[in-house]
Chains A and B, each alone.
Chain A
């Protein structure tokens, strides 16, 4: 079975910081990877698809990279609205990473 592993599980950062979250797949998913942001009590929101394509309406400070088994989500300059939990998902067999909680 496909396993998606995110690191770190929790990330403490400050406004203006550049942060990177990593997602590793147990086998190649090519570029079939999406990133979602979720705030407490809300549904997830798509940020990135096809590993590096920014979803329409998502802020340009978000970027994604990688292919195969290793992927990253980068936020170039943290804003107050970015403190949330982030999930990667491969969309071949639909497995999610366990999430990365970004906190102050």
Chain B
């Protein structure tokens, strides 16, 4: 069974840092592009970041560029999101998501991990 399990969400003060992890299983992780998508409470889905298979190509939403870093460890089947200089508006559930093998759309989502930025 294809599975993505996020972890690392927590309560953090504005200006703080947090690293999210996404553990993948049930598929060949090293062959899949991956995304992070977030959803603020009661709001819609917002794309955050994308990484290719060997981490040579990354992409970020304007709102997080320069503060967030996406990375992966293919040996550990794990995707990461390093979040620095956190702001109140970064409060959200963060989902990792897999890109389909044969196209560029997301076909599998994790269950999400919650980040709360508050003093």
Q: Which residues in A have some Cβ–Cβ distance to B below 8 Å?
A: 1, 32, 34, 36, 38, 42-46, 49-50, 55, 87, 89, 91-92, 94-99
Q: Which residues in B have some Cβ–Cβ distance to A below 8 Å?
A: 35, 37, 44-47, 50, 59, 62, 95, 100, 103-112
**Which of B35, B37, B100, B105 has the largest count of A CB atoms less than 10 A from its CB?**
B105
Contact partners of B35 in chain A: CB under 8 A: 94
Contact partners of A38 in chain B: CB under 8 A: 45
When chains A and B are docked, how far (Å) is the Cα of A44 from the Cα of B35? 13
By secondary structure, the B interface counts as strand
Task: Give 28 CB contacts A-B under 8 Å.
Answer: A1-B62, A32-B104, A34-B106, A36-B45, A38-B45, A43-B110, A44-B45, A44-B95, A46-B105, A46-B107, A49-B105, A50-B103, A55-B107, A87-B44, A89-B45, A89-B47, A89-B105, A91-B104, A92-B104, A94-B35, A94-B47, A94-B59, A95-B47, A96-B37, A96-B44, A98-B44, A99-B44, A99-B45
